[in-house]
Chains A and B, each alone.
Chain A
């Protein structure tokens, strides 16, 4: 338990939170009274009427307060919209690819028009919450200000895991963990000095190409994903693939893969 005797600096991860669980902005070094109650919303009489964490069983909070209900509704519809855009993007990319290889040269990969995506709403909502949790940090704010998306170097700069791809639960949770750890490099400097972490491209690379964990039933689909090179080259450098990250920049997405495919074929 916490020792009440000597005041300890709050854990780094709580310092970096922009907002407490009630949504109010925190001053940078303010202790967060909702520290161990993340994502629990209290009613005025201080009963805990809901319990939602990203690691919870499902996206539906067990509470009945309208504020939360509407927020979840909003998340659900947003995720569905993102999904539609992502599918469109994949289709458009597929279309452009076919156009390019019109010479008839055989593709080393089967041209799969339908890539299996994660469609389970429960899973998507849980993943989105985890992503929101990671983005709700000062570190993330500083990161996106410092490194615009077009300047990101794959394998060096952290990238938000793609919630639409099929991953096992373990694999996904691991990706999230590593992503959040990597984001800590942009934590605001504390009194103890800035603790920058070594960014290990190797780790990220391994994580990214770790197609669905071998234990899970979803793993069968991984090799059919036309983005994954199930090739023999051990990839230390992440291949560029897509993900839905907040606002899509369709142009950016479209330009990236074409470069990639050139090197592959």
Chain B
């Protein structure tokens, strides 16, 4: 490999663990992919991103990478919150270096598959379902097309949020928590893309808050907070901040 000199130099600038990872990566792609699977959380995929940026994307199987990232995000909720940023970086790198969008296409189509089977996913594993919703919302947040959000994702995202607003989901704190978190992050954008569906969603939330049996106090609190948040035009008012987020003086 004539490029080892250059690669060596780049590797030296990382910490020893990362160095080890990168050296393995350069030795063989299969090993690299396996390594990636074993790396839980951010570190593995940031290493991946760095590697891709310094290597030639045309030598990397980006479709495989996309699948690995989706797999990881379904297992690790912390990762799925950050994955959007990583995906964005890879997409930019591929676009600039080879002017293609293999990674984006693979990512989106895989995401679509998961979306189609979301009911099964939820039945199989509540945690994986929550990770999926977090992930798709994160992707919606980060991936833009000429500075606009991706139209193709608007309705699917709404569908997921609507699912979370169903009675059986409202009874689960983790799902309510996921729902309000996503609305905090992307609610405003989503509303701009389709305000009617947002109105319908909040109808459900109001009903849920008022009428749903089996709502935990925490869930009630979360729902009330998001209803107020949207009513304040997706902004945190001082009063709400004080009420929901300040420490209660004894």
Q: Which residues of A does B touch, CB under 8 Å?
A: 19, 22-25, 44, 65-71, 73-74, 77-78, 81
Of A24, A69, A78, which is within 8 A of B146 by CB?
Answer: A78
Beyond A19-B100, A25-B100, A65-B108: 6 further Cβ-contacts under 8 Å? A23-B101, A67-B104, A67-B112, A73-B148, A77-B145, A77-B146
The A-B contact count (CB < 8 A) is 52
Nearest opposing residue in chain B for A43, CB measure: B109
Of B100, B109, B150, which is within 8 A of A73 by CB?
Answer: B150
Nearest opposing residue in chain B for A72, CB measure: B152
Whether B52 sits at the interface, judged by CB under 8 Å, is no
Whether B189 sits at the interface, judged by CB under 8 Å, is no
Judging by beta carbons under 8 Å apart, are A65 and B109 in contact?
A: yes
CB-CB contacts below 8 Å: B69-108 with A: 98, 100-102, 104-106, 108
Given known contacts A66-B112, A77-B145, A77-B146, is B102 in contact with A71 (CB within 8 Å)? no
* CB-CB nearest 3 A-B residue pairs: A67-B105, A66-B108, A77-B146
CB-CB contacts below 8 Å: B144-187 with A: 145-146, 148, 150-153
A71: chain B residues at CB < 8 Å are: 101, 105
The DSSP consensus for interface residues of chain B is helix
Nearest opposing residue in chain B for A69, CB measure: B152
Of B98, B100, B102, B152, which is within 8 A of A70 by CB?
Answer: B152
A65: chain B residues at CB < 8 Å are: 108-109, 112
Q: Which residues of B does A touch, CB under 8 Å?
A: 58, 63, 98, 100-102, 104-106, 108-109, 111-113, 145-146, 148, 150-153
Judging by beta carbons under 8 Å apart, are A66 and B111 in contact?
A: yes
Judging by beta carbons under 8 Å apart, are A70 and B104 in contact?
A: yes
Given known contacts A73-B145, A73-B152, is B109 in contact with A66 (CB within 8 Å)? yes
A81: chain B residues at CB < 8 Å are: 146
Judging by beta carbons under 8 Å apart, are B151 and A73 in contact?
A: yes
Nearest opposing residue in chain A for B108, CB measure: A66
Given the complex of chains A and B, what is the CA–CA distance between A70 and B152 in angstroms? 6
**Nearest chain A CB to B59 CB, angstrom units:** 10
Given known contacts A23-B101, A73-B152, is B106 in contact with A67 (CB within 8 Å)? yes
Judging by beta carbons under 8 Å apart, are B112 and A23 in contact?
A: no
